[in-house]
Every structure is written in C-alpha cells, then in structure tokens.
Structure 1
Amino acid sequence: MITILVPTLHITQGFTLVELLIVIAIVGLLASVMVPNLLQAKAKANDSAAASISQKIATAAATVQVSGNALPSCSYAAPDATIWSGSEVATVRAGGTVTDISCTENPTRTNALDVTVTYQGGTKPSITTTIE
C-alpha cells in the first residue's frame, strides 16, 4: 500500500513580540518626525491669526481716526478689542491667543498710529501695524 504524507500546516494566532516591537518603533519614528512639523504649523497659524487681528484693529482705528480727527485709543478685554476717539467707538473680536492690544502714537511719523497685538503660541511675541 502506498502512503501519501500530507504536510500539516501549523497556524499561529497573533503577532510575535519582535513584530510588535518593530511596529512600535516605526510608529515612534513617524511621530518624532511629524510632531515638530505640526507644532510649527500651529505657530504659523497663530502668527497669521494675530496679523489678521492686527490688520482688523488697524482698519477700525483708521475709521475711528477719520471720524474723530484725533488719534484713537485702544483697550483689550478678552475677547474684544475696543478702539475709540471722542464719541466714535469700534469693537473687534480678537480671539483666544491674544493677550494684549495697544495703540500708541508712532514716534517717527506725524499723525501715525502703531497698533500692537501681543499673543501666545506664535513665532513672534507681537505684531505691529502702522496706520496713517
């Protein structure tokens, strides 16, 4: 009689420890590459938001200045910036990263106003926009 030997397959369940460690190492490597890039992108987004807020405040200050014929003043109470000159008042929604807003007379230009927005989480501590 002829006997045919059929090889039996040994099926294992799950992953080996070495396979799991390799996957963990690859995920850790990818995370270490991506996290700094994500933080840099977030800082640039905060810079962009602060520049936008600074421009909005400068536009509001220019409008108030034209109406009131005097350099306006600024104040900040989270989350709003208030710009006023005489009886003219403008309010700008500033946002969560802004910590302070100031309006000062530009020392080098006559009838010019520097609007400075101080904020958290960006690459610079503040952004200044000059209006005339």
Structure 2
Amino acid sequence: MTIFQNNVDIHKPIEAVYAFLADMNNHEQLMPDNIDNWSSTEDEARFTIKNMAKLALKISQRVANKEIVCIPIDEAPFALTLRWKLDDKGVETTNATFVIEAELNMMMKMMASSPLQKLADHQVDTLKNILG
C-alpha cells in the first residue's frame, strides 16, 4: 500500500468542514483543472481525468465530524481509497488531512506517485482557499 497525504488547518468549526466534505457535490471544487465531465450526487461522483481515465467514486463511510472515505464504484486502474480525516483543534479550527491509499505495482508507482501526491496537495490547498 502506497500512501500520499497532506493536511491543513482551517479556521472553521469541524462541523462546517465535515458538512462540506460529506457532500460529493462539493468535491468538484477541490479537483484540479484536468478533470472533465463531472457529475455528482451527495454520495457519488463520476468524472474523467483528461487523457487518462474515467473514475466513479462513492462515499463508503461517514463518521460524523471525524472521517469521510471514498472508494471506486467501477473498476479503477488500481485499488484506491480516498480518505478525509478531521481533527478538532479548538477555537473554531479544524485540521483536515487528505489521504490517498493506492495499491501500486512498481511500474504504476513510477507513473502515478507524482500525480497522486500533487492531487493530495491540490485538494488540501483548495479546501483551505474555499473554507478559509
């Protein structure tokens, strides 16, 4: 299992950060520019990564004000779990950690490591920009 992650402190109560992340409709705002054909519901999202692959994700687990877990609906190029972990830091501050867990063979690891880390970094930075 290869893990890519990043985290950020957001000056909002944990309930507000959780409410935003618990709705897949909001995740389009967190995606980089190379995402096309986005469609979503509260629980699922389907999109295309330009010149790469189509992905469909669903929220498989919600733990109120703690964690949101997304997994592929259809077959993905490799086993993948996306996880947002939230930690209440008090005084209306929430630490949000985005974790990508991927089962990558050596070849996929060479090709996918940089884009997956960039995705983790981008989503965390964008979440901070949106929620402050």
Question: Of the two, which has the highest radius of gyration?
Answer: 1
- TM-score (structure 1 length as normaliser): 0.28
**Which of the two has greater strand per residue?**
2
**Which of the two has greater helix per residue?**
1
- TM-score (structure 2 length as normaliser): 0.28
